[in-house]
Amino acid sequence: MKNNAKIYCVGGAVRDQLLGLPVQDHDWVVVGNTPEDMVAQGFQPVGKDFPVFLHPRTHEEYALARTERKTARGYKGFAIYAAPDVTLEQDLLRRDFTINAIAQDADGNLIDPHNGIADLRAGILRHVSAAFGEDPVRILRAARFAARFGFSIAPETLALMRGMVDNGEVDSLVAERAWQELARGLMEKKPSQFFETLRSCGALAKILPEVDALFGVPQPEKYHPEIDCGIHTMLVLDDAAQHDYALEVRFAALAHDLGKATTPKDILPRHIGHELRGVELVKNLSQRMRVPGDCRDLALLAARYHGDVHRASELRAETAIKLFQSADAWRRPERFNQLLQVCASDARGRTGHAQDAYPQADYLQQLLATARAVDAGEIARQCADSDTIAAAVQQARIGAIKNIVQQQKEKQ
């Protein structure tokens, strides 16, 4: 570095170190250098919108200190100024929360111009400046950090977030960026707090209206009618997180009951079963949010078949085979297992007991293993007409599980 240039560790690394959490990676701010200086010292430029460089050995990110000026709606609507005269304090002023606006110099000294350390100790998410209101992604980040750390939102920050919703700033969210934050929120320790934060500022109705519509919708009397569908969905999500299920499972847990909410007339008529309404809503949400295919497909299966899975002991052999066929369990047994995980969380989300057994999973896995043991190749060789192979294989699979199904019914 040039003699007058200084390097500071900033952001999440400093925050997590102060919280006593493992530091995953480091972000660095360089004060007093130009892009040309960085390249001359072997750093590789990677930033498209502002000067960010990779260290030639560690490959960690080094960003030149910069300021930002709002020029248009959305998180890309900023003019960036990065030059040697930008100070560390100016750079920290553009950051989202006080807990992320703490820097540490090479000697270990902390620079905390916005009292982020005090907010860390108090468990509060507080915006650094009014510039927070210029970037709608920061609403999602607030929700994500609340879910990760269990922090509360400062009243003035929550008011600013509500203003961003009211003035339409949140409407400019880019789908891919929103999904990125949603996916990370789903993977936090308590994902329900992510959605509760969005709901508290009115953003959930704008970003995920299908989920917001679940709140206030009563559950069937046979469950816990005092817990509405929205609260139930949050319990299901937290159960999936407690069992460390994958992102696909957590997204499906979020979307499994969408059909129980009031459905717009242009989707499907109200008299059509909520499973089919749910399928259409999952399709629309996934297309709008650019949800990856694996997450979308599992959510579609959960929306359509979670009721059948819950009723596994009542299914006829023919119906069980159709379920396996529809879920493509022959080729994708691991995805079928994920469907069972969604359903197990769904069941536990009604009781609130994370350790409750879910015997339907073991039973269906037994049926699937027995059906998959049928030698489809041998059956195909015995069929004189190739058009009859599929039906013959299906009948053989039905026959293979009939005894197990009958024994299950006799236990009831």
**Predicted pLDDT of residue 76:** 53
Q: Does residue 13 belong to any structural domain of this protein?
A: yes
Q: Are 84 and 90 in contact (CB under 8 A)?
A: no
What is the DSSP code (8-state) at residue 97? Answer: B
Please indicate, yes or no, if residue 78 is contained in any of the structural domains.
yes
Residue 68: domain span: 1-122
Q: Residue 88 domain-assigned?
A: yes
Does 412 map to a domain? no
The stretches in the chain having pLDDT less than 50 are 74, 264-268, 270-271
pLDDT digits (tens, 9 = 90+) for 366-383: 999 999 988 888 887 878
**b/e for 201-219, b at 16 or more Cβ within 10 A?**
bbbbbbbbebbbbbbeeeb
Q: How many domains does the chain have?
A: 1
Of 170, 159, 163, residue with least CA distance to 74: 170
Q: How many CA within 13 A on the CB side of residue 99?
A: 24
* Structure confidence by residue, pLDDT tens digits, 20-47: 999 988 889 999 888 888 888 888 888 6
Give the pLDDT confidence score for residue 374 in this predicted structure. Answer: 84
Q: Is residue 40 part of a domain?
A: yes
Q: Is residue 111 included in any domain, yes or no?
A: yes
Q: Residue 54 maps to which CATH number?
A: 3.30.460.10
User: What would the DSSP string read from start to end of 269-302?
Assistant: -TTS-HHHHHHHHHHHHHHHHT--HHHHHHHHHH
Task: Tell me the pLDDT tens digit for each residue of 9-22.
Answer: 999 999 999 999 99
Q: pTM value?
A: 0.87
Structure tokens at 74: 């959305």
Residue at 37 is within a domain? yes
Q: What is the pLDDT of residue 262?
A: 61
- Asked, for residue 189, whether it belongs to a domain, the answer is no
Nearest partner of 27 among 42, 47, 41, judged by Cα: 47
Q: Which amino acid belongs to residue 235?
A: L
